[in-house]
Amino acid sequence: MLIISRKTDIKQSNKLSILQWVRNSGETTQPEISKELGLSRPTVSALVEELILEGYIKVSGMGSSTDQGGKRPKLIAFHARGGGILALYFTVNTIKAALMDLSANLLHELRVSITPKDTTETMLAKVKDLAGALLLKAKELGIPVKGIGVGCPGLVETSTGTILTSTHLEVLNGCSLGESLSSAFHLPVWVDNECRNQVLAEKMFGEGQDVDTFVSLMTDVGIGAGIIIDNRIMRGKDDSFGEIGHTTIQMDGLKCRCGNDGCWEMYASSNSLMSRIHENLSRTLLLKDMVQTRDELTFELIGEAIRRGDDVVYQLAIEDLGKYLGIGIANLVNSINPELIIIHGEMIHLGERLITEIEKQIQQRALPVPKERVRVIFSKLGPKANLIGSCALVLKELFDNPELLFQVNL
C-alpha cells in the first residue's frame, strides 16, 4: 500500500483540483484558478508548472490584461494528448481495442476475431497482442499510457479484474484478465462489466453529464443496465447490479442461457428481434427481397424496410419489440425512478418510432410520478460507446486517485 505524507496529500489534492478546473473550463488563467479555488498565486503557479511539465495542461495562448492594466496572463488548457488510455472491449465474436486520449478521443483502433476454437489462453494471448501493438503506437506518437480499461460481458470481480461468469462468452469464465495484463505491461488495469462502463461513458461524455439518476440500457445479444443513482454508480454486494435482462417477464416463457425461463432478454434483446425476423422473413413485404439482394440481414436493413412501409416488419420491430422493451423499462421506472433511460445498441437504426412505442408502455404501466419524470432516448455516443466506456473506467479511477494520476508516467 502506498503511504502518502499529509503534506504530499494536500499538494496532490490541490494539484488535482487545478487539473479538474482546467479540464472543465476549456481555457483559463492562473489568476482565475487562484480566485476560483481559493489557492495562493505562488501555489497555483508552482502546481501549474508541474502539470505543464507532466503534460496534463498546456499554454494555449495569451489572455487580455485586467482593467488595471498589467501583464497579459497566459491562457492554459487541458492537454488531452498528455496521456493515453488503452481501451479494450469484448463482443461475442470480436475483441476491440483502442488507444484513446484523456478526453476519450480515438487515436488508433485495432480488432481481432474470436473463434469457436479459442481457449482462455488464446484469448489472453490475443488481448496481450492487441495491447502490445497499441503501446507501440502510443510510443510512436510520444503519448505516455496511463492505464488499461477493459469492458466484459458478465460478472466481473472488479477488485482482481477476474471475469467470474460470462453467459454469452463462456470461454472467459474464470479468466484473471486484470492480473494477467498488469503483470505483462506494468500498468494499472481495471476490468468491469460493459454496461457499467457504458453508463460511465454517458456520465462523462454523453447524455448523462447533467443528470443525477439514470439508466444506460444495453440491448445486444442480451440486455444489461448500468445504473447511476444520485451520481453514484450502483454495483451491488457482488458487482452483480444491473443484470436486468434476466428478470422474468413471462412465467414459463422461453428458456434462457442463464437457466431461467422467460427472461426479459429472450423477448427484448437485439438477438431476440433478429430471431423473430428470421422466423417471419418469408411473410415480410419488402424485407425478404432486400435481404436477398444484399445477402445479409442487418438492423440498418430492418430500419430501411420500416421506413419504406413494410407493415410486417413494423409489427415485429416496432410494435412487438416496443411492447417487450417498454414492459421491462416500465419496471425500471417504477423501481428506481430515473430521470433518463439511454438505449444503446443496434436498435438505434429502428428510429424514434421505437421510442414512441416504449413511451406508450411506460404511460400504460408505470406509476404516475416516476412516469411523468422519465425520458427515453437513444445514446448519441455512436458505435464507439463501448470503447469510450472502457476509457471512462480508467479516467474515473485515475481522477479519483491522484497518487496514480501523478505517478504513472511510463
In the beta sheet, which residues pair with residue 86? 99, 148
Per CB under 5 A, 249 contacts Zn ion: no
The helix (H) or strand (E) run that includes residue 206 is none
Q: Is residue 221 a contact residue for Zn ion (CB under 5 A)?
A: no
The stretch near Zn ion (CB under 5 A) out of 171-179, 196-204, 205-213, 257-265 is 257-265
> Is residue 260 within the footprint of Zn ion (CB under 5 A)?
yes
263 binds Zn ion (CB under 5 A): yes
Q: Is 246 in the site for Zn ion (CB under 5 A)?
A: yes
Instruction: Determine the Cα–Cα distance for residues 83 and 409; give it in Å rounded to an integer.
Output: 9
**Minimum CB–partner distance for residue 258 and Zn ion (Å):** 3
Can residue 250 be called a binding residue for Zn ion (CB under 5 A)? no
> Which of residues 256 and 312 has its CB atom nearest to Zn ion in the complex?
256
Task: With contacts defined by CB under 5 A, name the span among 30-38, 170-178, 263-271, 384-392 that binds Zn ion.
Answer: 263-271
Q: Could you give the angle at which helices 41-53 and 30-37 cross, rounded to 10 degrees? A: 120
Is residue 408 within the footprint of Zn ion (CB under 5 A)? Answer: no
Judged by beta carbon, residue 221 or residue 256, the one nearer Zn ion is: 256
Residue 347 engages Zn ion in binding (rule: CB under 5 A): no
Q: In the beta sheet, which residues pair with residue 59?
A: 76
Q: How far is the CB of 248 from Zn ion (least distance, A)?
A: 8
The contacts of residue 130 (CB under 8 Å, 6+ apart) are 88, 95, 97, 110, 111, 112
> Which residue carries 448500468 as its cell?
226
Q: CA torsion sign, 175 to 181 to 183 to 188?
A: negative
CB of 311 to Zn ion, least distance (A): 31
The full DSSP string for 275-337 is: HHHHHHGGG-SSHHHHHHHHTS--HHHHHHHHHTT-HHHHIIIIIIHHHHHHHHHHHHHHHH-
Which CB sits closer to Zn ion, 269 or 361?
269
- Residue 291: count other Cβ atoms within 10 Å of its Cβ: 19
Considering the complex, what minimum distance in angstroms separates the CB of residue 226 from Zn ion?
18
Residue of 98, 370, 389, 364 lying closest to 216 (CA atoms): 389
Give the total of residues touching Zn ion (CB under 5 A).
Answer: 5
CB of 250: closest distance to Zn ion in angstroms?
A: 11
Give the cell for residue 170: 463462456
Comparing CB distances to Zn ion, the nearer of 123 and 155 is: 155
Nearer to Zn ion, 47 or 268 (CB): 268
Q: CB under 5 A: which stretch of 56-64, 168-176, 246-254, 348-356 binds Zn ion? A: 246-254
Strands 94-101 and 214-219: unpaired
Segment near Zn ion (CB under 5 A); pick from 144-152, 210-218, 262-270, 310-318: 262-270
Residues in CB range of 10: below 8 A, 6 or more apart: none
Q: Which of residues 41-60 bind Zn ion (CB under 5 A)?
A: none
List residues binding Zn ion (CB under 5 A).
246, 256, 258, 260, 263
